[in-house]
Amino acid sequence: MPNDPDNRKRAFAEVVTVEAWHHPFGPDTSKVDLHADVVFATARVGGETNSPVRFRLRMKRADIVVVIPDSEPVVVDKRSVSRDAPQFRTNISQSTETSSAAAAGGEVGSSVSASGLSASAKIHASAGVKVASTQKIEVSGELGSMTVTQSKTADGHYRWTVEPSRNDQLEGRPWDSTNAPRLKLSDRRKDRSRGIPPTVRVEVRCRREDIDIFDLTIKDESLLEKAKRAMGFENRIKAAEAYIRDQLAGEGLEVSNMSDVFGYLTFASTTADTSEPE
C-alpha cells in the first residue's frame, strides 16, 4: 500500500478515510492511472477531555472529487474516466386475455346454419366481448452496499457520488481501489525530466443534510455552558455542529455555512502519492 504524505492524525478518520496514488511521471511515463481508496464507517466523536459533547457520526451520502488545480500541468484523459452508474436491467412482459358473452336480449342459437351461428347472433355476441390486459415489470441487476454515479462539479472536477443502496448509511468501500482506477492523468510538461511533477488531490465532500449525528450526550454541563458562550450555539445539536466545524477548520478543510442543510463540508483531502512501492 502506498505511503500517504498527508497521513496524519485526523479528527474524523473513523467516519471516512481516503488514500490516493499513481505511478510517478518521468521521461518515459506521460500517462498514469489514478487510484483512490475510500472507506466509510461510523465514528465515535468527542472522546477528548475538553469536549463538552459525545456523539456518533456517519455519512449518508458523499462526493469523492478529483481536484486538479489550474496551475498544474496535467489533464485527464476523458476516455479513461470510470463512468460509474447504477446498473439495472428492466424487463417488461404483457399478456392479454379475451372472453365473450351474449349481450342482454340476444338470441344466440335462434338461427343456425351449416356454418355455425348466424350473422345476427355473431353481432350480439361480439357486443359482449371482454378484454383484460396485464403488464408485469421486473427490474434486475447486481446491487452492492453502495451505488456510485459519476458526474462533474460546478468547477469542472470529476466526481463520484456515493449513496447507500441497502440502508441509510455509507459503510465500507464503494469500489476496488487497486483494480478500478478512477481515471488516467496525462503530464503536459514538454520536458518531464525537469521541473516539479504535477500533483492532484482527492477530496471527500458532503452537505450538512448528508451527515447523521446521533447518540448525543452532554459530558460536562459546565464545559457546555463555556462552549456556548465562546461559540454562540443554542442547543446540543449545534454544539456537535460547532465541534465538527472547528475540527475540520483546524485541519484546513473547507466548511461552508454548516448551519444550513445545503451547506458544504470537506471531510477529507489528500494529495496523490507518487512514491514507488517499497
pLDDT in tens, 176-223: 999 999 999 999 998 888 888 999 999 999 999 999 999 988 776 666
Identify the pLDDT of residue 2: 45
Amino acid at the residue 2? P
User: H-type helices in 171-272, by residue range?
Assistant: 221-231, 236-250
For residue 112, the Cα-to-chain-centroid distance in whole angstroms is: 72
Identify the pLDDT of residue 120: 44
Q: How many residues does the chain have?
A: 278
pLDDT in tens, 78-107: 999 999 765 555 566 666 666 655 444 444
Identify the pLDDT of residue 118: 43
Identify the pLDDT of residue 17: 95
* Rounded-to-integer distance, Cα 137 and Cα 17, Å: 40
Residue-wise DSSP of 106-144: --TTSSEETTEE-HHHHHHHHTT-EEEEEEEEEEE----
Angstrom CA distances, 69 to 73, 169, 193, 205, stand at: 9, 31, 21, 17
* Rounded-to-integer distance, Cα 178 and Cα 185, Å: 16
Amino acid at the residue 278? E
In the predicted model, residues of the chain with pLDDT beneath 70 are 1-9, 85-133, 135-144, 220-234, 276-278
Going by C-beta distance under 8 Å and a sequence separation of 6 or more, which residues neighbour residue 152? Answer: 158, 159
Nearest Cα to Cα of residue 187 among 16, 33, 7, 39: 33
Identify the pLDDT of residue 103: 46
Cβ atoms 171, 162 nearer than 8 A = no
**Max Cα-Cα span within the chain:** 104
